[in-house]
C-alpha cells in the first residue's frame, strides 16, 4: 500500500485527477469506479477542469457507481445515481449510457445486487476505483464487520453513518437505513484502488486502515490485501500516522514517471 500525504484536499484532488487523466490517455474507455460524499468532489472538479482545458479526452470513459441508497424515490436529488450524474457524468460531458449502477429501487434487491456484480465483470472490471472512508472505517457502505470477501448486497447503515450523512438531507429521519454497496470482495477486484481522506475527523480511521491489522471491524484495512492500493491523505487526516515521515520521504524520492 502506498500512502501519499498532500497539503490539502485540493492537492489530493489534483493528484488523483491527473492519475485518472493518465489512465484515460492510455485506455480511453477505462471503467472508473466513483464514490459519492464530500471527499471526492475536488477530484471531480479537477478532472472536469482538465477535460475542459483539452488536457485529456474523457469522451470514452465509463463510470460505475459504488453504492446506492435503498428506498429513495426515483430521481431523488440525493440518490447516488443523481449525485454521480450531477457531479461526474454531466460535467465530464458523458451521457447516461456511459454510466452503470445498482438499482436501488428494485423489488428484488438481491437479484439487483447480483446483476450489478455480473455487469461489472462483463464490462471488463473496474480499472480505477475511487474510495472515501467513513469515520468508522467503512468503504463503500461496508460497515464494520462486513465480510472481507463480501459481494454487492444490501447493508444497514450504522447510526453514526446516518448522522454523518444527515447533512445532505433535511433531517436525520430522511436518511435511509439501507443501502446497496459493492462488497469488499467486489471492490478488491478493481485494478487500482485510490482512497482519498481529508480532515481530522478521518485521522483515526486512516491510522487503523494503514497501520492497524487487517480486520473486518475496520473494513478499509482490506486495502492492505490489494496489490495496487493508494491512500491519499491531507495533513489533518495523516495526523495519527506513526509512519508519516517515512511515507513523506518515500513519496519525495519517487521518480516522476512512476505516478501513484
User: Rounded to whole angstroms, what are the CA distances from 257 to 22, 70, 253?
Assistant: 11, 42, 12
Is the CB of 69 or the CB of 247 nearer to ligand F6R? 69
Residue 57 designated active-site: no
Q: Which of 68, 76, 138, 234 is catalytic?
A: 138
Three-state secondary-structure class, residue 153:
strand
Among 35, 46, 100, 194, binds ligand F6R (CB under 6 A): 35
DSSP state of 229: E
Alpha-carbon gap, residue 101 to 189, rounded angstroms: 16
Among 50, 76, 81, 138, binds ligand F6R (CB under 6 A): 138
Residue 67 designated active-site: yes
Contact 127, 190 (CB under 8 A): yes
Alpha-carbon gap, residue 30 to 169, rounded angstroms: 33
Alpha-carbon gap, residue 97 to 167, rounded angstroms: 30
Note whether 190 binds ligand F6R by CB under 6 A.
no
Residue 164 designated active-site: no
Residue identified by cell 487523466 is 21
Note whether 101 binds ligand F6R by CB under 6 A.
no
Note whether 66 binds ligand F6R by CB under 6 A.
yes
Stretch that binds ligand F6R, among 37-45, 88-96, 113-121, 149-157 (CB under 6 A): 37-45
What residues are annotated to the active site?
67, 136, 138, 143
Return residues touching ligand F6R (CB under 6 A). 35-39, 66-67, 132-134, 138-140
Amino acid at each position: 500500500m502506498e500512502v501519499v500525504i498532500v497539503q490539502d484536499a485540493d492537492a489530493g484532488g489534483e493528484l488523483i485527477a491527473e492519475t485518472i487523466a493518465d489512465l484515460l490517455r492510455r485506455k480511453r474507455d477505462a471503467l472508473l469506479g466513483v464514490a459519492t460524499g464530500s471527499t471526492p468532489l475536488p477530484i471531480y472538479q479537477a478532472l472536469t477542469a482538465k477535460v475542459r482545458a483539452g488536457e485529456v479526452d474523457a469522451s470514452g470513459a465509463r463510470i460505475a457507481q459504488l453504492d446506492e441508497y435503498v428506498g429513495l424515490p426515483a430521481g431523488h436529488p440525493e440518490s447516488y445515481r443523481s449525485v454521480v450524474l450531477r457531479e461526474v457524468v454531466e460535467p465530464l460531458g458523458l451521457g447516461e449510457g456511459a454510466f452503470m449502477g445498482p438499482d436501488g429501487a428494485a423489488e428484488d434487491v438481491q437479484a439487483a445486487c447480483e446483476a450489478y456484480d455480473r455487469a461489472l465483470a462483463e464490462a471488463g472490471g473496474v480499472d480505477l476505483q475511487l474510495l472515501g472512508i467513513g469515520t468508522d472505517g467503512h468503504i463503500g457502505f461496508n460497515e464494520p464487520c462486513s465480510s472481507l470477501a463480501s459481494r454487492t448486497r444490501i447493508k444497514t447503515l450504522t447510526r453514526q453513518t446516518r448522522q454523518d450523512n444527515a447533512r445532505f438531507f433535511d433531517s436525520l429521519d430522511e436518511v435511509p437505513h439501507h443501502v446497496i454497496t459493492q462488497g469488499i470482495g467486489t471492490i478488491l477486484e478493481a485494478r487500482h484502488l485510490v482512497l482519498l481522506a481529508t480532515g481530522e475527523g478521518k485521522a483515526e480511521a486512516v491510522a487503523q486502515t494503514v497501520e492497524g491489522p487487517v480486520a473486518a471491524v475496520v473494513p478499509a484495512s482490506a486495502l492492505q490485501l490489494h496489490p495496487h492500493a493508494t491512500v491519499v491523505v491531507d495533513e489533518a487526516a495523516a495526523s495519527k500516522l506513526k509512519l508519516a515521515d517515512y511515507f513523506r520521504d518515500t513519496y519525495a524520492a519517487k521518480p516522476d514517471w512512476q505516478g501513484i
